[in-house]
């Protein structure tokens, strides 16, 4: 009925919008052989088969007029033949096909992949596609239905202006925009009347009044409740829960671990698995915690601190009293009066007037004017305020040392020493001696050497194969093995090693060079003359070549005005006429 009313109205509307309304039938995705394979009216059998599939009896009236192309002789010959099986009879029509013959266009569903559309798409149109029917006149009306077997409606949705409606096996929708709505799916049903929302399902629900209250619960036991205006938010599940109340209070749970508080006044928490608890109240400077696994408790109340465990305890009052004790140990400090401690066989007591300590090795007493130690060793001390005397003994090492005013002495079976502000002496029997005299004179002798130093100018000494003497900054002499360096700054430098000697004294320079053939030497008196000799030559010159003479293995050379003049033939030079001819260049290779 709705279609009969709406479609004419749509046609009138389209006629007003466009001068010409074209009706078009579209066959999309239609197989190419569909038209040629479909039976025509002239090819249809004259007599339909019976319901059981057997040919009709002779003389029965046909349900359709015979084709004009069928000849009388063919009809007579067919009727004279004996009955045949239905599947062998060319006139036999299967039941599903026979049910569609003569049906109207509205009751015939298009084959899969075919689409029939009429109207003006997409403004006002009607469409059939496989198992769907669609009718639309935008924006006033829209209707779509999905059919199943025997024309059963599986899904339908419609739009009537502001009202949207849908019905299916899995979900239903009724919605009047924006005033009211109802939504249903397999598990839940939701009603919306803005700003109110309600939802119900198996073991779950939700209630909203936006933007004031949001609350809900799921089938697994989790849920939430939010009141934004009050800064209150809460979510909870089996393993996790969190709540913020008024922006100050909070509750946080992870399985069995719980923390809660009201900022900044009080905080607390517990862990059932670890057997721990704590409470904190900052305004009262209060804190308490307990640990069931460790068997400990901790408490802080203002300046008072207490901690107990299975084997120890601590009690403090800041900043005056500190006390702790445990298995065979204890310690107490009461400032500024005393400190005492006991740890196994060690004992300690400290007061402003004295201090005592004892253990398995010995005992110690310290006072401002007298102190001592008694054990394997012995110590007596006047002080420590004025340590002018002390005496120390080590009977095991036969060692003894003493201080008498400004004189310190020590002795043992191997050495002895004495130290004063003006003089000091150290001696190791048969090994070394060392003496110091104010301000900084040091003399030392030891096996294989000695040294004498006057800091910071004079340093003289000898050790095995080395020797040194320094009178800074003028004299420096170092000798070690075959090397020696001597400097008398700034007039004399001499360096000796295994290769020779180099010596510079004012404007003279002397050099020796050692080789397997002998010694070669040169002497320069700058800038007057130079003279030198080697195992195979001798030479001299004046003013570095103004006049000079050189003889090398019988080859004599005269220098005159810085020019060399040969006095006889140089045996090391071969005349050009006697030089062997150079080899001719190689012949060029023949071209290939």
- Give the largest Cα separation in the chain, rounded: 166
> Side-chain half-sphere of 479: how many Cα atoms within 13 Å?
12
Which phi and psi (to 5°) does residue 74 adopt? Answer: -65, -40
- Tokens at 438, concatenated: 């104010």
Q: Give the contacts of 568 (CB within 8 A, at least 6 positions apart).
A: 554, 555, 556
Q: Is the pLDDT score of 74 beyond 70? A: no
The confidence score (pLDDT) of residue 345 equals 87
Share of the chain above pLDDT 90, in %: 51
Rg value, the chain, Cα: 63
Contact 260, 267 (CB under 8 A): yes
150-162 tens-digit pLDDT: 778 888 999 998 8
| Euclidean distance between CA atoms 133 and 115, whole angstroms | 10
| Euclidean distance between CA atoms 175 and 166, whole angstroms | 9
The whole-number average pLDDT for the span 105-129 is: 71
Instruction: Report CA-CA distances (Å) from 243 to 209, 229, 238, 378, 429.
Output: 20, 15, 14, 71, 87
SS (H, E, C) 106-172: CCCCCCCCCEEEEEECCCEEEEEECCEEEEEECCCEEEEEEECHHHCEEEEEEEECCEEEEEECCCE
Q: Which of 201, 200, 229 is nearest to 213 (CA)?
A: 229
Contact 180, 163 (CB under 8 A): no
Q: Is 286 helix (H, G, I), strand (E, B) or coil?
A: strand
Cα angle 219-225-231, degrees, rounded to a multiple of 5: 160
Q: Is the pLDDT score of 558 beyond 60? A: yes
> Side-chain half-sphere of 212: how many Cα atoms within 13 Å?
5
The lowest-confidence range among 100-109, 174-183, 321-330 is 100-109
306-324 tens-digit pLDDT: 999 989 999 999 999 999 9
The confidence score (pLDDT) of residue 161 equals 86
The confidence score (pLDDT) of residue 573 equals 62
On average, the pLDDT of the chain sits at 80
The confidence score (pLDDT) of residue 97 equals 52
The confidence score (pLDDT) of residue 553 equals 81
Q: Is the pLDDT score of 47 beyond 80? A: no
| Euclidean distance between CA atoms 154 and 137, whole angstroms | 23
Q: Give the contacts of 136 (CB within 8 A, at least 6 positions apart).
A: 122, 124, 125, 126, 142, 143
The confidence score (pLDDT) of residue 545 equals 85
The lowest-confidence range among 162-171, 215-224, 568-577 is 568-577
| Euclidean distance between CA atoms 586 and 251, whole angstroms | 106
Extended strands (E) in 429-575: 432-437, 441-446, 449-454, 458-463, 466-471, 475-480, 483-488, 492-497, 500-505, 508-515, 518-525, 529-534, 537-542, 547-552, 555-560, 563-566
Choose between 24 and 422: higher pLDDT. Answer: 422
Which phi and psi (to 5°) does residue 76 adopt? Answer: -70, -40
| Euclidean distance between CA atoms 325 and 98, whole angstroms | 107
The confidence score (pLDDT) of residue 12 equals 35
Q: Is the pLDDT score of 19 beyond 50? A: no
Instruction: Report CA-CA distances (Å) from 179 to 171, 174, 182, 341, 500.
Output: 20, 11, 11, 82, 118
Q: Is the pLDDT score of 1 beyond 50? A: no
Share of the chain above pLDDT 70, in %: 77
Q: Which of 281, 241, 233 is nearest to 258 (CA)?
A: 241
Parse the chain into domains and list their residue ranges: 1-23+85-154
Q: Is the pLDDT score of 535 beyond 80? A: yes
Q: What is the DSSP letter of 97?
A: H
Q: How confident is the model at residue 14 (pLDDT cuts 50, 70, 90)?
A: very low
| Euclidean distance between CA atoms 154 and 145, whole angstroms | 8
The confidence score (pLDDT) of residue 221 equals 87
Q: Which of 55, 120, 116, 122 is nearest to 91 (CA)?
A: 55
């Amino acid at each position: 009925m709705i279609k009969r009313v709406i479609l004419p109205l749509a046609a009138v509307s389209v006629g007003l919008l466009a001068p010409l309304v074209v009706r078009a039938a579209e066959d999309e995705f239609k197989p190419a052989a569909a038209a040629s394979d479909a039976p025509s009216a002239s090819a249809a059998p004259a007599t339909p088969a019976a319901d059981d599939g057997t040919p009709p009896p002779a003389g029965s009236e046909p349900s359709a007029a015979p084709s004009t192309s069928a000849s009388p002789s063919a009809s007579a010959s067919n009727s004279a033949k004996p009955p045949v099986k239905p599947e062998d009879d060319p006139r036999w029509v299967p039941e599903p096909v026979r049910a569609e013959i003569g049906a109207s266009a509205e009751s015939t569903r298009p084959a899969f992949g075919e689409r029939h559309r009429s109207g003006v798409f997409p403004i006002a149109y009607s469409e059939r596609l496989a198992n769907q029917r669609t009718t639309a006149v935008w924006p006033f009306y829209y209707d779509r239905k999905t059919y199943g077997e025997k024309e059963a409606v599986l899904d339908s949705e419609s739009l009537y202006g502001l009202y949207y409606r849908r019905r299916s096996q899995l979900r239903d929708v009724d919605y009047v925009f924006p005033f009211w709505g109802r939504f249903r799916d397999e598990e839940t049903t939701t009603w919306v009347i803005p700003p109110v929302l309600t939802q119900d399902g198996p073991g779950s629900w939700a209630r909203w009044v936006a933007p004031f209250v949001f609350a809900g619960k799921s089938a697994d036991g989790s849920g939430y409740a939010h009141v934004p205006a009050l800064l209150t938010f809460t979510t909870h599940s089996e393993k996790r829960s969190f709540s913020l109340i008024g922006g100050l209070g909070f509750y946080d749970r992870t399985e069995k671990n719980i923390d809660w508080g009201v900022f900044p006044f009080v905080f607390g928490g517990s862990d059932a698995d670890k057997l721990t608890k704590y409470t904190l109240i900052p305004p009262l400077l209060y804190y308490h915690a307990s640990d069931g696994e460790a068997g400990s408790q901790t408490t802080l109340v203002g300046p008072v601190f207490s901690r107990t465990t299975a084997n120890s305890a601590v009690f403090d009052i800041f900043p005056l009293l500190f006390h702790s004790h445990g298995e065979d140990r204890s310690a107490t400090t009461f400032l500024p009066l005393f400190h005492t401690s006991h740890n196994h066989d060690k004992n300690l007591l400290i007061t402003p007037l004295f201090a005592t300590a004892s253990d398995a090795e010995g005992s110690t007493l310290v006072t401002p004017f007298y102190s001592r130690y008694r054990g394997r060793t012995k110590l007596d001390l006047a002080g420590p305020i004025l340590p002018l005397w002390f005496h120390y003994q080590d009977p095991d090492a036969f060692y003894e040392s003493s201080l008498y005013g400004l004189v310190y002495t020590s002795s043992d079976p191997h050495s002895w020493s004495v130290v004063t502000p003006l003089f000091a002496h150290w001696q190791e029997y048969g090994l070394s001696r060392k003496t110091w005299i104010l301000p900084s004179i040091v003399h030392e002798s030891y096996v294989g050497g000695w040294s004498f130093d006057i800091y910071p100018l004079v340093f003289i000494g000898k050790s095995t194969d080395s020797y040194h003497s320094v009178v800074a900054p003028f004299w420096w002499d170092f000798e070690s093995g075959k090397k020696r360096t001597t400097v008398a700054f700034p007039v004399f430098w001499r360096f000796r090693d295994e290769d020779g000697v180099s010596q510079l004294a004012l404007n003279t320079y002397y050099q020796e060079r050692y080789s397997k053939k002998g010694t070669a030497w040169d002497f320069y008196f700058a800038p007057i003359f130079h003279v030198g000799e080697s195992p195979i030559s001798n030479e001299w010159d004046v003013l570095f070549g103004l006049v000079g003479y050189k003889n090398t293995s019988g080859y004599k050379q005269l220098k005159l005005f810085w020019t060399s003049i040969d006095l006889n033939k140089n045996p090391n030079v071969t005349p050009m006429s006697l030089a062997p001819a150079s080899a001719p260049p190689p012949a060029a290779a023949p071209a290939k």
